């Protein structure tokens, strides 16, 4: 990578994008993000507004960049934030990148994204992948499974529940598989893909596959807890997550996320691309994991402006 080449990273003040940006900065690149946030004082990351309603401004923010690393997406719909809007916004971003002369896009998607999926998250991701394939940009589409790491929401909140409650409810039989991948490995895969030139679609999956119940038990084991696992129907499980959601003022999980988890969509048939084992990471981090609840609403909905 030439010194001081400019890269755009959406989500550089967020979770996965933060790790991508850190690696690019470490390689001597300039990083600009397109965001709703002002960004921390003294950050080496330049911030430009996420102005999907002003494609010209978006194009100017992208000018001079060689590669766009895109992590922009929403976890669930709320008010004007819809999956359809997120698809349209991403198309606007891709068009703006084309007209700004950006050469390559590294797009973070999800395993088993498909325009035919009945689940809106996976369906929207499928539409976005198609828009990227149809664009003039060279592309690498990175498809992670469940991403774990220090600022993660799902694993942290599983740990939070295990710390607080003597019972841990599992939707259905808990046998559905997950193959978690470390956020640092996803960032490495993305940055390596950015340095390439051909079109590629890569699953970013970790080395170990667990059933969801095994995953929860592994987290509990490293935390030194032994909650009673209670198998509940997805309907009852969803009602319980809603109850907890009222208490913590968050959407803990959506019904569609539960269905996606139970459909076993967070695994891949590809060779593991990430080397970090969840068990090794838990050995280092279980002490602090889940000490406080991480709210998706606070992180991505209440704090920032709603994005149409
Ligand atoms: N986390 C996982 O376990 C996981 C698993 C598989 C795939 N992925 C994919 O990986 C990518 C990054 O995920 P992440 O968890 O690291 O996300 P994140 O950092 O929380 O957010 C990434 C980006 O989405 C924007 N965003 C998030 N919620 C938004 C909202 N409600 N309204 C408007 N913009 C919003 C953020 O904008 P700001 O910069 O303005 O905050 C940022 O650009 C996503 O495409 C996701 O689908 C994640």
DSSP letters spanning 60-119 = HHHTTEEEEEE----SS-BTTB-HHHHHHHHHHHHHHHHHHT--EEEEE--TT--TT-SS
Tally of structural domains, the chain: 2
User: Do residues 144 and 212 both lie within one domain?
Assistant: no
How far is it, in rounded angstroms, from Cα 267 to Cα 284? 24
Any idea which residue has 């710390």 for tokens?
163
Q: What residues form DSSP beta bridges with 230?
A: 169
User: Do residues 172 and 58 both lie within one domain?
Assistant: no
CB distance 124 to ligand 1 below 6 Å: no
User: Do residues 56 and 87 both lie within one domain?
Assistant: yes
User: Do residues 84 and 158 both lie within one domain?
Assistant: no
pTM over 0.75: yes
Answer yes or no: is 65 within a domain: yes
Domain containing residue 143? 6-148+180-204
Q: For the CA atoms of the chain, what is the radius of gyration?
A: 19
User: Do residues 121 and 77 both lie within one domain?
Assistant: yes
In Å, what is the CA distance from 138 to each residue of 68, 105, 114? 10, 6, 20
Contacts of residue 120, Cβ cutoff 8 Å, sequence gap at least 6: 77, 83, 256
How far is it, in rounded angstroms, from Cα 202 to Cα 96? 24
- Encode the chain (308 residues) as per-residue pLDDT tens digits: 555 899 999 999 999 999 999 999 999 999 999 999 988 899 999 999 999 999 999 999 999 999 999 999 999 999 999 999 999 999 999 999 999 999 999 999 999 999 999 999 999 999 999 999 999 999 999 999 999 999 899 999 999 999 999 999 999 999 999 999 999 999 999 999 999 999 999 999 999 999 999 999 999 999 999 999 999 999 999 999 999 999 999 999 999 999 999 999 999 989 889 999 999 999 999 999 999 999 999 999 985 443 32
Q: Tell me which of 147, 181, 182, 186 to substitute to probe ligand 1's pocket, judged by most ligand atoms within 8 Å of the beta carbon.
A: 147
- Give yes or no for a contact between 305 and 36, defined as CB atoms under 8 angstroms apart: yes
In Å, what is the CA distance from 222 to each residue of 144, 216, 217, 245, 295? 24, 10, 9, 25, 23
Any idea which residue has 């600009």 for tokens?
32
User: Do residues 242 and 158 both lie within one domain?
Assistant: yes
Task: Please provide residue 259's backbone torsions phi and psi, each rounded to the nearest 5 degrees.
Answer: -65, -40
User: Do residues 103 and 167 both lie within one domain?
Assistant: no
Answer yes or no: is 308 within a domain: no
- For residue 203, the CA-to-ligand 1 centroid distance in Å is 17
User: Do residues 57 and 195 both lie within one domain?
Assistant: yes
CB distance 155 to ligand 1 below 6 Å: no
Answer yes or no: is 115 within a domain: yes
User: Do residues 55 and 106 both lie within one domain?
Assistant: yes
CB distance 300 to ligand 1 below 6 Å: yes
User: Do residues 130 and 19 both lie within one domain?
Assistant: yes
Answer yes or no: is 59 within a domain: yes
Answer yes or no: is 97 within a domain: yes
How far is it, in rounded angstroms, from Cα 48 to Cα 50? 7
Any idea which residue has 């340095």 for tokens?
195
User: Do residues 134 and 226 both lie within one domain?
Assistant: no
């Amino acid at each position: 990578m030439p010194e001081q080449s400019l890269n755009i990273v959406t989500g550089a003040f967020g979770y996965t994008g933060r790790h991508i940006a850190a690696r690019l900065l470490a390689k001597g690149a300039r990083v600009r993000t397109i965001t709703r946030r002002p960004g921390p004082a003294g950050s080496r990351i330049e911030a430009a507004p996420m102005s999907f309603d002003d494609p010209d401004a978006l194009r100017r923010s992208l000018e001079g960049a060689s590669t766009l690393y895109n992590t922009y997406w929403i976890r669930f719909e709320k008010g004007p934030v819809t999956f359809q809007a997120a698809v349209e916004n991403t198309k606007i971003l891709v068009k703006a990148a084309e007209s700004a002369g950006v050469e390559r896009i590294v797009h973070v998607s999800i395993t088993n994204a498909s325009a035919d999926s009945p689940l809106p998250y996976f369906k929207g991701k499928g539409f976005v992948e198609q828009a990227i394939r149809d664009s003039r940009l060279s592309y690498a589409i990175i498809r992670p499974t469940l991403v774990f790491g220090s600022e993660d929401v799902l694993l942290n909140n599983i740990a939070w529940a295990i710390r607080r409650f003597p019972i841990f409810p599992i939707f259905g039989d808990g046998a559905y598989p997950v193959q978690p991948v470390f956020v640092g490995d996803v960032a490495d895969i993305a940055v390596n893909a950015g340095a390439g030139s051909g079109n590629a679609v890569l699953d970013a999956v970790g080395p170990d596959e667990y059933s969801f119940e095994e995953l929860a038990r592994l987290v509990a084991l490293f935390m030194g807890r032994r909650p009673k696992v209670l198998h509940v129907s997805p309907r009852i499980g969803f009602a319980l997550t809603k109850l907890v959601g009222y208490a913590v003022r968050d959407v803990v999980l959506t019904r569609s996320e539960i269905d996606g988890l139970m459909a076993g969509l967070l695994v891949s048939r590809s060779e593991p691309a990430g080397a970090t084992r969840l068990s090794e990471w838990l050995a280092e981090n279980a002490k602090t994991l889940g000490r406080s609840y991480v709210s998706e609403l606070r992180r991505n909905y209440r704090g920032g402006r709603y994005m149409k």
